[in-house]
Amino acid sequence: MEESLLFVLIGGVLAISVVVALVASHAGVPALVAFLGFGMLLGVDGPGHIGFEDVELAQFVGTIGLAAILFEGGLSTSLRRLREAAVPAALLSTAGVAVTAILTGFTAHYLFNLPWLESMLLGSVVASTDAAAVFATFRTSHVRRRLARILEAESGGNDPMAIALTIGIISWIQQPTYSLDNLIMLLIQQLGIGLLVGVLLGKLAMYVFARLPHSIGAFAPVASVASALLSFGAAELGGGSGFLAVYIVGLAIGSTPSRYRGPLTMFHEGLAFLAQVAMFIIMGLFVVPHELFDLASLSIVLTLVLAMVIRPIAVWLSIPFGNFTHRERAFLGWAGLRGSLPIVLGMYVLSAGVPHGQMIFNVVFFVVLVSALVQGSTLNWVAARLGVLDKLPHDKSTRQKDSLEKIYFQVAHQHSIASATVREVGLPPRAHIIEIKRRSKQIEVTDDTVIRPRDRLCVEAPYSIHPEIEDVFMRWRRRV
């Protein structure tokens, strides 16, 4: 009876979460805020009256959920996009996080009268941007592609830096012999081993998924989940960043020409949504609203300083060079959304028993909440005001957003698409190969048609997904 009731409760919470997501989407409220609010309603101060104090369970759920979100983000991003954004994103993910942590730590020290190390710990916890919010926002946004890709790559790559800083400063607080040298070595170890494991297992995953036979196609999601778990676990066991490794492996699988890419992306989008639901509801349960009021005003001040002063400074110092206009830099500054990782790291602080840990967690909760509400809900509006939206062509006869267009691709011997069947090409759902010309003759196109070198393919797709088709073409040109 108790097990049946548990199933009903879990199913009911998930069903309500779908409704909450729908309402939040129509109201323009970030999903993070909606799910946190739902969790708080279920908590001790809400109608649900559910008491929840298991810090380690909350931390575990947050870690798994964040890994799932990062893997899905990598899976949905092509290597071509990453190459275009690699240098500025890497600088923002490292130098930008360090600058943000230090300046936020200074601000927190004077606002909350915290000791210096605890202040820097708070700065490190809130230093990274939110992968889930950024990935979700730019799927439907018309922000210039270069800026969107920089922010996507940054949000996928800056979590390891923030985690390493947080773990290092916690060790510094707990161990008097710890020093800045130890912290720097920890950063190098976390990033270096995470990168190495991610690249090695990513190459292995690319080899496997490019050759996964159709007879076991139903197990493709099992293989992708296994890849995510193995990469995360192997990096963590080796002393590296599992989050960096899992993002790189997701990126590798997403950039592999395969008949399974579309279904896998949809599958992991669902897993990422489920991860967000679990993470934010549990975090909401953990929050006791009546304990937050004393910190509300100063936490809001810290959030506004972080968004309007510290993040823009970090952007300018991290990428002082490059072909960026003042408006583009301003947008990169405003787009530093805080989200899931700071709350997860707040759990790390609580579970470590750090002095002032509860206060740090409460401040972090406010920072995330206010950032999501203020920055998350105004991101597209700010982009429009700064003039950093891509302009759609005005030729309505051929460039309506949903009009179909024909795009041609010439297959060469070295291309990965050569010898693949039509069902294996990995086009987006609304794109199709409608014509194949072989030696000036048009051949019949079926799912089992084998594509050969020197074939000329005609792909029909809506104009609105043309960038996705370009990414697919880049994967087709890769040698596997």
Q: What is the per-residue pLDDT across 102-133, written as a single tens digit (0 to 9) for each?
A: 999 999 999 999 999 999 999 999 998 876 66
Q: What rounded mean pLDDT belongs to the chain?
A: 82
Q: 457-471: per-residue pLDDT in tens?
A: 999 888 777 767 877
Looking at residue 200, what is its pLDDT?
95
Looking at residue 48, what is its pLDDT?
64
CATH of span 35-386? 1.20.1530.20
Residue 153 CA: distances (Å) to CA of 101, 131, 350: 19, 9, 29
* Rounded Cα–Cα distance for residues 234 and 110 (Å): 41
- Band the pLDDT of 357: cuts 50, 70, 90: confident
Residue 410, beta-bridge partner list: 456
Q: Is the confidence at residue 312, as pLDDT, over 90?
A: yes
**Domain boundaries, given as residue ranges, for the chain:** 35-386, 404-476
CATH of span 404-476? 3.30.70.1450
Buried (b) or exposed (e) across 61-73, using 16+ Cβ within 10 A? bbbbbbbbbbbbb
DSSP per residue, 378-435: HHHHHHHHHT-BPPPP--TTT--TT-EEEEEEE--TTSTTTT-BGGGS---TT-EEEE
- Band the pLDDT of 417: cuts 50, 70, 90: confident
Region 83-107: what's the mean pLDDT?
88
State the residue for tokens 């979460």.
17
Closest by Cα among 397, 406, 392 to 461: 406
Q: 2-23: per-residue pLDDT in tens?
A: 677 778 877 887 787 778 777 7
Q: Is the confidence at residue 383, as pLDDT, over 90?
A: no
